[in-house]
């Protein structure tokens, strides 16, 4: 009984020490739980040249989420000279669009739109359940605007 009394007296007079000790113990316990749940990191080399070439040609990425659909927009640079401008080796660009619905499993479809010269996505919005993209493109003196309508099964260029 004497031992129990001395502990309660000790805890009564030293609440800050008890709180600090309890807090330190909780932090350590949480750290061990988080570490135990972390997956093992792995490093591997990707040897597929098509995948490497595709990823290295991506110059920009944007995305837009509507109420039912999402679109991921990759601006892909083409080969030097693809813009067919006589003064140099300028490149054209394609827009790679991955369209999908919100679901537990990936159900995206890939569409390719192009070729554009110096594309700039000016607007992304939803209209009647479809996603609309306004893309400005062309030479500085003669910029044009294209509207792309994105649906799950098709992409149209206006």
The tally of domains found in the chain comes to 2
Between residues 24 and 4, the one the model is more confident about? 24
pLDDT at position 2 over 50: no
pLDDT at position 26 over 80: no
CA-closest candidate to residue 117, choices 97, 91, 87, 89: 91
Same domain, 141 and 100: yes
Residue 44 lies in a domain: no
Same domain, 131 and 81: yes
Same domain, 12 and 85: no
Residue 100 lies in a domain: yes
Would the pTM count as exceeding 0.75?
Answer: no
Residue 42 lies in a domain: no
Same domain, 19 and 58: no
Strands 69-77 and 93-101: antiparallel
Same domain, 143 and 69: yes
Provide the domain limits for residue 17. Answer: 2-37
């Amino acid at each position: 009984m004497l031992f129990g009394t001395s502990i309660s007296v000790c805890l009564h007079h030293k609440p800050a020490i008890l709180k600090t000790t309890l807090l330190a113990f909780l932090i350590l316990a949480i750290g061990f739980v988080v570490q135990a749940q972390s997956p093992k990191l792995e490093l591997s080399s990707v040897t597929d040249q098509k995948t490497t070439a595709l990823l290295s040609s991506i110059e920009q990425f944007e995305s837009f989420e509507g109420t039912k659909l999402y679109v991921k927009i990759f601006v892909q640079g083409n080969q030097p000279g693809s813009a067919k401008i006589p003064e140099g080796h300028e490149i054209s660009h394609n827009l790679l669009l991955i369209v999908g619905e919100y679901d537990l499993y990936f159900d995206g479809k890939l569409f390719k739109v192009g070729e554009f010269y110096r594309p700039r996505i000016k607007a992304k919005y939803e209209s009647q359940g479809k996603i609309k993209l306004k893309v400005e493109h062309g030479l500085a003196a003669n910029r044009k605007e294209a509207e792309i309508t994105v649906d799950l099964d098709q992409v149209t260029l206006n």
